[in-house]
Structure 1
Amino acid sequence: MTPLTLPPGISKDTFAAYVAAARGVVGNDNVEVITGPDQFTKDDYMDPAKEHDMYPVLDKDYFVSSAVVAPRNVAEVQALMRISNEFKVPVWPFSIGRNIGYGGPAPRVPGSVGIDMGRHMNRVLEVNEADAYCLLEPGVTFQSLYDHLVSKGLEDKLWIDVPDLGGGSVIGNTIERGVGYSPYGDHFMMHCGMEIVLPNGELVRTGMGALPEPGATGAPDQQSPNRCWQLFNYGFGPYHDGIFSQSNYGIVTKMGMWLMPNPGGYQAYSITFEREDDLPAIVETIRQLRITMVIQNAATIRSLLMDAAVLGDKESFCPGVTRPLNDDELDGIQTKLGLGRWIFYGALYGPEPIRNALWGAIHGSFSQIPGAKFHLHEDGKPTPGVLDIRAKTMRGIPTYDELKWVDWVPNGAHFFFSPIAEVRGEAATRQFQITKRRLVEAGFDVIVDFIIGMREMHHIVCVVYDRTKPEERARALAVVRTLIDECAANGWGEYRTHLALMDQIASTYSFNDHALMKLSESIKDTLDPNGILAPGKNGVWPATYDKEKWRLQAGSQVTRQSIPKHPGPSPRL
């Protein structure tokens, strides 16, 4: 059976032999060959595609797998890597396929074989109540981890940190350095211990996991882990975990995550601000409170339309309007919903005296901004905006309600642009002004939020477009390409991106003649000399590919016909 897109440099016969070998490892039911666009039927977050990007900005059949293989255990992952090296077939591992806005499960190199790590490898291997951690496989979602805690009666004792949507893989989100909204919001910071299959099929445990547990027997992947694996990140010697985040150096098969012990009390709140020009004062106030931990969680400043889009679509607010909304229309939505141009969502954690003291400091600081309005979440009491939803999210209860803002336009899809900046009012204002100008010029509404971490600010720009219209997809891609260059010129780089933009963003991290990329390429070529694991991920191309032919930049011809026919050696400087 011939796929729609063969892996680069692989003949039909070689591909058929590879598929036969893969079926010999994982079974016939766990290998699907992708033969045509008729298989690209799924576009629902709740039932995600496994072979293509459900929210494409290029043609739907460009970033597409030749086949999808679902291993059932670590030994099968190891065997698949050995087979892939034997046949020189590139593979693209993913956990669930819900990395929407960034490419989903689709591979960077068209025709790669997707490795579905979540279909079978979806167990919560351990929850340790005393030490507040869990050990997971890639298919464990935030929702399934929460459900597991509920089933054990632990949901009130141990809290998880969740992103906006609960259906993503905990491991997948963590190794992509995703964020949530509780005090444990930096997910990679809260991981502890990895098990990794290297490109050659070798199995590694990092940190304390490298020390055998006394008496452990059996195959390496089945040996009981060291009892301190999820307690101390670093172990002895070089710390390797970081190179397996956002990289193509290995496949994570197990990961430990710290859970948050019940803090003894919780109160969600929101603060609304009347004017768009309030942004710098909001950010400066948050910086002072966040860096001193008065604001305890990774809190968020949301634009009016981000909340409005959860509560209704554009047609319901402004019938017949297809252009970007103007100030008068935004004022009307603001009045109708009882919101501000900016809405800040946060939470208080701890016993009541501590919460009261924190709230006093927060209320007093934000009261200096004229027109600020304060709202405490109480069950059963109507609150403006999406405070009911955010109250669950900041408490670690997964939800799916935020999916609704993608339906702001018909056939809605979204494309993320995510620069990092210093937590400064002036930086937020400049970023927002640049973003707003470019989005409106390109015909898109301004839907953004700012997520404040420990010392930095994630600016999440949501380009919402009609995925059925090629012209809108092209405009979405073009405007983000422009924003990448403008923000880089101001010293702001993205922390995460879509497949189509990986090369462009990697090229902006160019200090000392791209010394960081040269280091990344050296590690890649050492660990993966055949270049078979996720080639091109985040701009890291193996030497077996001529990256000048494979890189996607502004103006690149991007159709199935433009896919390079054969990988070729890339000169290393």
Structure 2
Amino acid sequence: MTTSAVANEPLAYRQPEGSAPRESQSVKRPLVLPPGTDNDKFQRFIEEIASVTGSENVTVISDEAELYHDNYLDPGKAHDMFHIVYKTRLVSSAVVAPRNVPDVQSIMKICNMFEIPVWPFSIGRNVGYGGAAPRVPGSVGLDMGRHMNKVLEVNVEGAYALLEPGVTFSALHEYLVTNNLRDKLWVDVPDLGGGSIIGNTIERGVGYTPYGDHWMMHCGMEVVLPDGTLIRTGMGSLPSPDEDSSLPPHEQPPNKCWQLFNYGFGPYNDGIFSQSSLGIVVKMGMWLMVNPGGYQSYLITIPRDEDLHQAIETIRPLRVGMVLQNVPTLRHILLDAAVMGDRKSYTNEDRPLNDAELDAIAASLGLGRWNFYGALYGPEPVRVAMWQVIKASFSSIKGVKFFFPEEMPDNVVLQTRHLTLQGIPTMTELKWVDWLPNGAHLFFSPIAKVTGEDAVAQYEVTRRRSEEFGFDFIGTFIVGMREMHHIVCIVFDKKDPDSRQRAHRLIKILIDDAAARGWGEYRTHLALMDQIASTYNFNNNSMMRLNEAIKNALDPKGILAPGKNGIWPKNYDPSMYKIEI
């Protein structure tokens, strides 16, 4: 970043010429100062922020002891709980918890005046992708979920909810249960229920019911822009007939169609606030699934590794034809095994497990080398008809077996998926991170066509590379309507520098391997954002140039989340923030 001298601050914050620097005794010095900021300027900035939010909502990160929150249930707010670089490399200087929308607007205006970057997060549980850590060390973390955690509305007739950033999947589910709405509406949930619905959605995360594409299911956003301006997207930009001129903008009653029709009139702008650094989402509408009137989950075990090709070829026509109604998953045996026990439960070998050992684990658990989880929705005649087609299709794979949850009561994964696929959040999948001691994970997430050829090629590359670096392959194919996310779970020992570095080197090589085959990642860890952005380089990086032009127009001082997803403001030198292994 171009250094901002104190003399270039707004006049109200400028030191008199020739005066000695003023050292405040009320604010601790952070472990890492924001770029272009000395301690005196930082102290004055914090005092100004505290005057808006209250000092109880400002935490200066001054002690490494504050960086040891590394549990999903007690997430770190200033660092990456599953760090692959050294712990203090990507750390916030302070964490601020706004109480409401005006606080967020004021914070952005103060950050602009002091030219101090801010990194918003909802809960801090974006594990595997960087958690709450900022891309630029010393940025101020903006804890959107601490206070702004209300379910603002659940509309049964329209089947939607209007939410603040701190509302988790578990919290919305509990709201429906408490208000006797669960028999009418379901929440789509990802593997873990503790994450923010807004945070997951704007990062384009997925769940597993028919409403599993969360970004597709959002409708209407309220956003604070980098300069503090408040906007509502889609139909929300049309004032309600009930508008009250005595109320501030964020309290104005919404247009009745805000959560019903995405697009409004003119350019559709919602997309620029997804995986971006162009605005802070303070409210979002989410469509909820209407109770389908019947439900049945199931497991199909696929016995041999070489069956992967046929399994994917079987899935594709069923998914495109919507016979497979939900977002189905095809999980490698070690993903399920890791939920049911740590590595020592299966082997004392230090090397990656071989095929014979994987087959033995599958046999001991009553599973296949690949395991397909799905669900049927609707009245019984519909479910029976769908099941007949699904069962007949998969029966072409020699040796497949079919199970309902009641037939495998001790299968933890199947019992968990039974809940997940009907929108009931759980925390059970946390267990697979404990595959290794001090377990942490890094996600490699390439996108590919739903073809057996692509699946086999991705599996071959990612498994071979994983084993080259001493890791077991753990992964799953999540099948969308016309593509599949291949989520490779790189599990490493976060307290072992060698393990962290091997994980880092592995994913960097995998990114290059994937790009060479036309596979791009849809989401990534902070440390890999620049590398992945560089692979999306059609026509001399024309998309990046467009993104940079929009960024510099909306955020000329580069205040909001600089470097996110490889988009750097004009006043930053990306080479100064290069992350080495």
TM-score, length-scaled by structure 1? 0.95
Which residue of 499, 512, 531 maps to 2:558? 531
The reply to whether residue 175 of structure 1 matches residue 202 of structure 2 is: yes
The question of whether the paired residues in 2 share the 8 Å contact of 1:270 and 1:344 is answered with yes
- The Cα offsets for residues 219-238 of structure 1, whole Å up to 9 and x where unpaired, read as 00111111110000000000
Which residue does 2:344 correspond to in 1? 315
Which residue does 2:41 correspond to in 1? 14
Which residue does 1:87 correspond to in 2? 114
Q: Displacement, 1:385?
A: 5.7
The question of whether the paired residues in 1 share the 8 Å contact of 2:125 and 2:195 is answered with yes
Q: Displacement, 1:215?
A: 2.5
Instruction: Write out aligned runs for 1:14-413 (5 A).
Output: 14-217=41-244, 218-318=247-347, 320-378=348-406, 382=409, 384=411, 386-413=413-440
The question of whether the paired residues in 1 share the 8 Å contact of 2:408 and 2:414 is answered with no
CA distance in 2, matches of 1:334, 1:551: 42
- The Cα offsets for residues 385-422 of structure 1, whole Å up to 9 and x where unpaired, read as 61100010010000000000000111000000000000
Which residue does 1:415 correspond to in 2? 442
* Corresponding residue SS for 1:387: helix
CA distance in 2, matches of 1:233, 1:108: 31
* Corresponding residue SS for 2:549: helix
* Corresponding residue SS for 2:398: coil
- The Cα offsets for residues 229-276 of structure 1, whole Å up to 9 and x where unpaired, read as 000000000000001000000000000000000111000001001100
- The Cα offsets for residues 131-173 of structure 1, whole Å up to 9 and x where unpaired, read as 1000000000000000111110011210010000000000000
Pick which of 38-47 and 238-247 moved more: 38-47
* Corresponding residue SS for 1:171: helix
The question of whether the paired residues in 1 share the 8 Å contact of 2:34 and 2:138 is answered with yes
Percent identity over the alignment?
62
Pick which of 506-515 and 329-338 moved more: 329-338
Which residue of 444, 455, 465 maps to 1:428? 455
| Consecutive unaligned residues in structure 2, runs of 5 or more | 1-27
Aligned length: 552
The question of whether the paired residues in 1 share the 8 Å contact of 2:187 and 2:288 is answered with yes
* Corresponding residue SS for 2:376: strand
Q: Displacement, 1:212?
A: 0.6
CA distance in 1, matches of 2:350, 2:114: 51
Q: Displacement, 1:550?
A: 2.6
CA distance in 2, matches of 1:276, 1:176: 32
AA of the residue aligned to 2:280: I
Which residue does 1:569 correspond to in 2? none
CA distance in 2, matches of 1:283, 1:41: 42
The reply to whether residue 437 of structure 1 matches residue 464 of structure 2 is: yes
* Corresponding residue SS for 2:36: coil
AA of the residue aligned to 2:263: Y
Pick which of 213-222 and 183-192 moved more: 213-222
CA distance in 1, matches of 2:483, 2:576: 35
CA distance in 2, matches of 1:550, 1:101: 20
| Consecutive unaligned residues in structure 1, runs of 5 or more | 559-573
Instruction: Write out aligned runs for 1:559-570 (5 A).
Output: none
The question of whether the paired residues in 2 share the 8 Å contact of 1:196 and 1:204 is answered with yes
- Aligned-CA RMSD value: 0.9
User: Which runs of 4 or more aligned residues in structure 1 lie more than 6 Å from their structure 2 counterparts after TM superposition?
Assistant: none
* Corresponding residue SS for 1:462: strand
CA distance in 2, matches of 1:313, 1:398: 23
- The Cα offsets for residues 415-452 of structure 1, whole Å up to 9 and x where unpaired, read as 00000000000000000000010000100011000000
The question of whether the paired residues in 2 share the 8 Å contact of 1:375 and 1:383 is answered with no
Q: Displacement, 1:322?
A: 2.0
Q: Displacement, 1:36?
A: 2.2
Instruction: Write out aligned runs for 1:476-515 (5 A).
Output: 476-515=503-542
- The Cα offsets for residues 465-505 of structure 1, whole Å up to 9 and x where unpaired, read as 11000010000000000000000000000000000000000
Which residue does 2:10 correspond to in 1? none
TM-score, length-scaled by structure 2? 0.94
CA distance in 2, matches of 1:385, 1:271: 15
Q: Displacement, 1:377?
A: 2.2
CA distance in 2, matches of 1:389, 1:382: 11
